[in-house]
């Protein structure tokens, strides 16, 4: 899978995904660290990448559009905050999430559960 890691998360997550065989870049690798969220979504969609972030604005932006891409993975609330734990959680769950991510969804990692919302997201289900 291909991933675009948002500025809200460490570049070490992109490193861990690459080490696991995925095509992963951090927004800093693309000089997008100052870009707004809509530009990041556009770049991810154009390169068929899944956005990985802790910024819940991506859910809002996806609800305003009606598209099925890009998929977004969000770390929320009491989910792990260290890049090592976030990477481990992500890599451990990717095999089960690949189909949903390929079809278009928002995946939310929380402390005790993982939620999946299919795209397009309606306003009532926005994270």
Note the pLDDT tens digit of each residue in 30-39. 999 999 999 9
pLDDT value of position 20: 97
> Which residues make Cβ contacts (< 8 Å) with residue 66, sequence separation at least 6?
120
Query: What range does the domain containing 72 cover?
Result: 2-125
The answer to whether 35 and 4 are in contact (CB under 8 A) is no
User: What domain count does the chain have?
Assistant: 1
Low-confidence ranges of the chain (pLDDT < 70): 65-67, 121-127
pLDDT value of position 119: 86
pLDDT value of position 126: 42
The answer to whether 73 and 53 are in contact (CB under 8 A) is yes
């Amino acid at each position: 899978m291909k991933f675009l890691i948002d500025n809200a998360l460490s570049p070490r997550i992109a490193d861990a995904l690459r080490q696991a065989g995925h095509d992963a870049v951090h927004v800093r690798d693309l000089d997008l660290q100052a870009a707004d969220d809509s530009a990041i979504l556009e770049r991810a969609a154009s390169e068929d990448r899944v956005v990985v972030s802790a910024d819940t604005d991506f859910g809002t932006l996806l609800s305003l559009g009606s598209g099925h891409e890009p998929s977004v993975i969000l770390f929320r609330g009491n989910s792990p905050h260290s890049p090592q734990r976030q990477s481990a959680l992500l890599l451990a769950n990717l095999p089960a999430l690949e189909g949903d991510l390929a079809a278009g969804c928002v995946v939310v990692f929380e402390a005790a559960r993982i939620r999946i919302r299919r795209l397009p997201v309606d306003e009532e289900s926005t994270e």
